[in-house]
Each structure stands twice: as C-alpha cells, then as structure tokens.
Amino acid sequence: MHYAANTLENYWMPFTANRSFKQNPKLFVRAEGMYYWNHQGERVLDGSSGLFCVAAGHGRREIADAVARQFTEIDYSPPFQFGHPGAFELSRRLAAILPDDLNYIFYGNSGSEAIDSALKISLAYHRARGEGQRMRFVGRERAYHGVNFGGISISGMVRNREAFGLGLPGVVHMRHTWLPEQRFSKGQPEAGAELADDLQRLVDLHGADNIAACVVEPIAGSVGCIVPPKGYLGRLREICDRHGILLIFDEVITGFGRTGKPFAADSFEVVPDMITMAKALTNGNLPMGAVAVRDDIYETIVNAAPDGTIELFHGYTYSACPVAVAASLAALDIYRDEGLFERAGELSPYFLDSIFALEGIPAITDIRGYGLLAAVELAPGSAPGERGAEALRRLYEAGLLVKATGDALLLSPPLIADRSHVDEICETLRKVLGAL
Ligand SMILES: Cc1ncc(COP(=O)(O)O)c(C=O)c1O
C-alpha cells in the first residue's frame, strides 16, 4: 500500500513519546517471515513477534486467503441473538486445545476486553450461585492486564494507573513474585512459592466470601518476564479452591505455544477457572480477544436465567466477527500443521542458553526466561526507563526489534524462529548492550 503520508501530525500514538517519535520516526512498511523492513529500506529482525502476537511469522498467505474468502462469503454478522458457523467452529477448536473443562469461549476484540469480560463473568457467576456479595478482585503488583478500567484496576504498573483516578472499588493486590535471590535463574526460580500466601492474608483480612476472583499472568509478561517460582501457581490454586475464589490466568502473552505447550496452564500443570487470550489468537493479524471458562461457569450463568431470556448482558459489536474468526481458524491450522507449539518447546533450551550467556555484560543486572520468552534487565540510567529506551533505539538501528518496559528488554521471537535467528538476536544484543 502507498499512502500520501507527508505528515505525521494527526495520529496520536498509544504508549509512545509522540513528540520524540515525530522528530525521529520509526516506520515499518513491509513484513515477511521473521523480518520487518523500515521506511529507510533497512531489514529489522522481529525479536518480539511484533507485540507478542505474530507467532507464525509475518505475511502468512493462508491467513490472508482465509480472510479474503470470508469477506466475500459473509463479511459481518450481528453477534447478539444471531450466529455464524465460524464462531461455533472456532470455539470447538479452542476448547479442544484448552486444558480440562475450559470449554466455553466468550469473544471480544483485545486482551483488555478479554480481561474485563472475565471480571464481569466472575461477578455474574457468583451472583447466579446466590453469592453476589463476592465483589472483590485480587490482582498483583507489577501485573499488566491491559488498559480498560477493570484491567488497570487489577494491574500493578504505576504509570498505567496513576493518571486515571480510582479504578474499580474493592481491588486488592498481592506482592509480585520477583526476589533478588532469583537473579539469573533460568526457567522457574526455586525461591518464592510462599508469596502465594499473600492471597491467604487477603482472605484473612477481607473475608473469603467477599472475594470473586484472583487474576494473575502465569508469567508476568509485559513488565519483564517474571517467571512464577516453583510451586507458586499450585499454591494459589489450593487457596482459591479452599475459599471458593475463581482463579483466572491471563494468557494474552503466554497462550498459543509461547511456553512450549498450548497454554502456560499446561506447562505449569495448574488449571485455572478461566483463561484470557488475544494476540496470537489470530497471529496478531486481526483484532480479537477471548475468555475461556469452565463448564460449570457457563452452565451456572446460563441455567440461572428464565427460558428465552438473555443470560449475560455483555458483548461487543465485533464479538466473534467473521473475518477475525477466519484469521484465527487459519492461524490455528498453521500452529497445528507446522507443530509450532512443540517447535517452541524444542528451541527453548537453545534460546534460553543463548540469552543467559549474555550474563557478564556490565549493563545487565538480571536475565529471566521461560519457553520462548525472556527479559534482559538493565541497570537504570539517570531516570527509570531511560536506559531501556536508549537500548531499544540502538538495537533498532542495529536491526533488531525488542519490546522495552522500563529498563527491561523483552525477547519473544515468532515460533517459526530457528537457531540462526536466535544467534542473530544474541549477537546484536551482545554488540549493542556491551557498548552501553
Ligand atoms: C497479559 C496481558 N493482558 C492483557 C493485555 C492487553 O491486551 P490488548 O493490548 O490487546 O488490549 C496484554 C497486552 O500486552 C497483556 O500482556
């Protein structure tokens, strides 16, 4: 596509230093496989799957064709009181790869909407069971659950909360799970399972029967890949079970093979009551988010309403939009046919060994990683985030795209990566971070 874009003025960019960007723009104009090309014609290796979403790599013909076919067959269908076959087929396909009895899928357009849907479903579920007083949510420090009011309320990143008022009432937070003694632990750290007891402390303080749900990312992703200590998630599960609290895993980043299994719930062998997903759900090619719930949650809400009446007063104009569904079905076909989840699991030891071999570069204070997700933490500069932003810029100029959060650099390559791409990522990191 060619645009007569001789102005950068009117686009208000999200999570961006707009004034700096417009002085020194970084535009991607083409993408294929593992690479982007920028407006200066330079090739940039995609070390972050775009924004953790392009699991099958860029420019997948199969997805483009499926979406084009869907456009000409049925472009849009109203999701309230009407359906289209693709939505049922996608739900069947997702239920088949989701753990245990997480068999019912509710759709939105993003991770943020998936999270807010999960919170609302939790409240509706308890109300349908006659426990409508369960209104509190438990989140965690340093969590990221998107940017809508529910999501920022349960999240734990100060910059995403401080400008936006009071958020949802009744939300409380557990401590995050990073401890100094975990520095440079590859995979799950040994120390820290007892941090799950924060949930019990909140139960003791607020009363178990006031808490609707506890929401965590199995691996805290956006904040810099904080991997759960061994035993931590299992302990959360036990405390939730003891007190009738729903456990929600936000798998917007970890879903679809990032940990070497379909979901992180499979990798860590802990089954939550709901899983939120987005991003790689469509290979990042069209907006879509979803929340999967256990049979009992769906049945309780649906059976509580009188026959012929709407059971859950929630949904979006683009819930299970046909073209996004087509993209998702085509992405799932690629994941299955190319064995990408298994491939990620097989590449993971090489990827992690290569990233952890960067230990010793003076600017690096910690490295964390699991599956094909890793973070390199830099010693802060004069202000928090300044060093991370400088590293992001220099890496981009050296031909590598990473995601920076504060002074952490996140690596999350597409699952089609091979060892040569891992080598290219690590050589560029070594060269650029070594010179910081
Ligand atoms: C764990 C998690 N939840 C929710 C979201 C929000 O997703 P979206 O940006 O699609 O709203 C993100 C985005 O990075 C995420 O990482």
Ligand 1 centre to CA of 73 (Å) is 31
Q: How many domains does the chain have?
A: 2
Report the nearest atom of ligand 1 relative to the CA of 250: 1
pLDDT at 7: 85
Which of 49, 109, 113, 145 has the most ligand 1 atoms within 8 A of CB, as the residue to mutate?
A: 145
Pocket test for ligand 1, best of 225, 277, 279, 410 (most atoms within 8 A of CB): 279
Phi-psi region of 325 (alpha: psi -120 to 50; beta: other; left: phi over 0): alpha
Q: Please indicate, yes or no, whether residues 266 and 404 belong to a single structural domain of this protein.
A: no
**Which atom of ligand 1 approaches the CA of 112 most closely?**
11
pLDDT at 150 over 90: yes
Do residues 361 and 224 both lie within one domain? no
Same domain, 31 and 71: no
Among protein residues, the one with the nearest Cα to ligand 1's atom 13 is 146
For residues 402 and 286, state if they share a domain. no
- Same structural domain for residues 274 and 356? no
In terms of domains, do 291 and 208 share one? yes
Structure tokens at 13: 């960019």
- Is the pTM higher than 0.85? yes
Which residue among 51, 52, 109, 112 is best mutated to probe the pocket of ligand 1, counting the most ligand atoms within 8 A of its Cβ? 112
Segment 294-350, tens digit of pLDDT? 999 999 999 999 999 999 999 999 999 999 999 999 999 999 999 999 999 999 999
Any domain includes 278: yes
* 221 Cβ inside 6 Å of ligand 1: yes
328 and 396 assigned to the same domain: no
What's at 188, amino acid-wise? Q
406: CATH: 3.90.1150.10
- Ligand 1 pocket mutation, candidates 222, 223, 249, 277, criterion most atoms within 8 A of CB: 222
Residue 10 included in any domain: no
Query: Going by DSSP bridges, is the β-strand pair 373-378/364-370 parallel, antiparallel, or unpaired?
Result: antiparallel
Looking at ligand 1, which atom is closest to the CA of residue 109?
10
Ligand 1 mean position to 110 CA, how many Å? 7
Domain that holds residue 249: 64-337
For residue 3, pLDDT beyond 80: no
Cβ of 224 less than 6 Å from ligand 1: no
Residue 288 Cα to ligand 1 midpoint, Å, equals: 11
Per-residue pLDDT reduced to its tens digit, 350-385 = 999 999 999 999 999 999 999 999 999 999 999 999
Torsional sign, CA 27, 403, 147, 372:
positive
Final residue of a structural domain among 272, 307, 337: 337
Task: Compute the mean pLDDT over every residue in the chain, rounded to the nearest whole number.
Answer: 97
Position 5 scores a pLDDT of 59
CATH assignment at residue 286: 3.40.640.10
Give the residue-averaged pLDDT of 123-136.
98
**What is the mean pLDDT of the segment spanning 190-198?**
98
Cα separation of 173 and 273, whole Å?
A: 19
For residue 286, pLDDT over 80 is answered with: yes
- Find how far residue 397's CA is from the centre of its chain: 26
Residues 239 and 343 in one domain: no
Ranges assigned E (strand) in 154-233: 171-174, 211-216
Residue 8 maps to a domain = no
Whether residue 124 contacts residue 301, with contact meaning beta carbons closer than 8 Å, is answered with yes
Q: Measure Cα distances from 259 to 33, 52, 249, 347, 400 in Å.
A: 20, 12, 14, 11, 22
Give the confidence band of 2 by pLDDT, cuts at 50, 70, 90.
low
The helix (run of H) or strand (run of E) holding residue 44 is strand 43-46
97 and 107 belong to one structural domain: yes
Q: Which atom of ligand 1 is nearest to the CA of 151?
A: 4
Interval 239-275: pLDDT, tens: 999 999 999 999 999 999 999 999 999 999 999 999 9
By three-state DSSP, how is residue 103 classified? strand
* 373 part of a folded domain: yes
Query: Which residue, 337, 358, 375, sits at the end of a domain?
Result: 337
In a domain, 253, yes or no: yes
Residue nearest ligand 1's atom 3 by CA: 145
Of the residues 281, 316, 337, which one is the last residue of a structural domain?
337
- Same-domain status, 251 and 108: yes
Q: Do residues 418 and 324 share a domain? A: no
Q: Is 47 in the pocket of ligand 1 (CB under 6 A)?
A: no
Regarding whether 142 and 274 lie in a shared domain, the answer is yes
Residue 7 lies in a domain: no
